[in-house]
Amino acid sequence: MKKVMTIAGTRPQLVKVAAVSRVLRESFEEVLVNTGQHYDYQMAGVFFDELNIPKPDYDLGIGSDTHGRQTGKMLIAVEEVVEKENPDIILVYGDTNSTLAGAIIASKLHIPLVHIEAGLRSYNKKMPEEINRIMTDHVATLLFAPSDLAVENLAKEGIQQGVHQVGDVMYDAVLYNMEIAEQAHSLENYHLTSGNYILSTIHRAENTDDPKRLEAILNAFAALDEKVILPLHPRTKSKIDTFGLHSILERASKIEIIEPLSYLEMLLLEKHAKAIVTDSGGVQKEAYFAKVPCITLRDQTEWTETIEAGWNQLVNPLTDNLPEILANIKHGKPIEDLYGDGEAAKKIISIMKSHL
């Protein structure tokens, strides 16, 4: 039985691991490496518990740092594990520094690399995630694209060999877990009723590290009539402290700050929100899966299909009137699923067995 080393380290990646590992372990030996890029219990540890993710064989505990230092630490630590385990295949997800570290190690040691969620492009190279995606795709052996557009993006860069459109493993995860979420949690726990609140997540550096942009976002929330539920990412909390923006939150009774949510809690609150405001790539998709209108506080998105379908729109908090946009937000047009049929994991494993 061939040995697959899976490298992950953030909340969204752990959701994908849960969806794929259930199927992967039927045909391969898996060694699971958690880099610890998301390192506290609320940000990542709770995911292992509620999603029944196999316990990591290696927990590297890298934690937060600058991009260069964090990636460098990962390269050293992951290489040591690879040399010890001697895997036949390395598997990575998405576009994080954990992804890039795994891709570089696989390339340097001549180990076949599987990239799940290949072919995404925002065409903004100032985003570190964009660089990670491009570099990983260009050294991958098998590239599993979540959409037709992702396949087209790869073809434009001359990447056609080993490319397979299988759908999105996050859709697998949502279909599998939504019913579990509704059974495990209740809106009443948050004193909410369906369709009467805005759910928001803000964590990307382009929003949190710019004091004017972060202030504009909080002021926009303060101007809304609806309640805003804001699970506060540690980075965002730190920047609110640094920039002295607490006065906005203190005068805005409709903004409710809560701790980061577990995956199942987040699914529940996404499903019943009036709208979602986010800068997260994963939350954009989950909003689409839940058929809830989404505002993305970014200048570009890698999930352009959701924009074209009318379920998502890009908003600049410095120049656009977010309260007015939310007041007039509408549902997108009914269309067939953009990201597969919820069987992406099975297709991935079938192709891996055939090709590797």
Catalytic residues: 203
How far is the C-alpha of 273 from the C-alpha of 126, rounded, in Å?
A: 31
Distance CA 315, CA 338 (A): 22
The residues facing 296 across adjacent strands are 278, 314
Does residue 228 contact residue 197 with C-beta atoms inside 8 Å? yes
Contact criterion met (CB below 8 Å) for 307 and 313? yes
Angle at which helices 128-137 and 97-108 cross, to 10°: 30
Can you tell me the distance from the alpha carbon of 194 to that of 258, in angstroms, rounded to the nearest whole number?
A: 18
Contact assessment for residue 118 and residue 144, using Cβ atoms and an 8 Å cutoff:
yes
Expressed in percent and rounded to 5, the helix, strand and coil fractions of the chain are 45, 15, 35
The sign of the CA dihedral 4, 5, 8, 14 is: positive
Cα gap 74→267, rounded to integer Å: 30
Q: How many CB atoms lie within 10 A of CB 14?
A: 25
H or E stretch covering 31? strand 29-34
Dihedral-angle region of residue 86 (phi above 0 means left; psi in -120 to 50 means alpha; beta otherwise): left
CA distance 148 to 167: 9
DSSP string for residues in 50-106: HTTPPPPSEE----S--HHHHHHHHHHHHHHHHHHH--SEEEEETTSHHHHHHHHHH
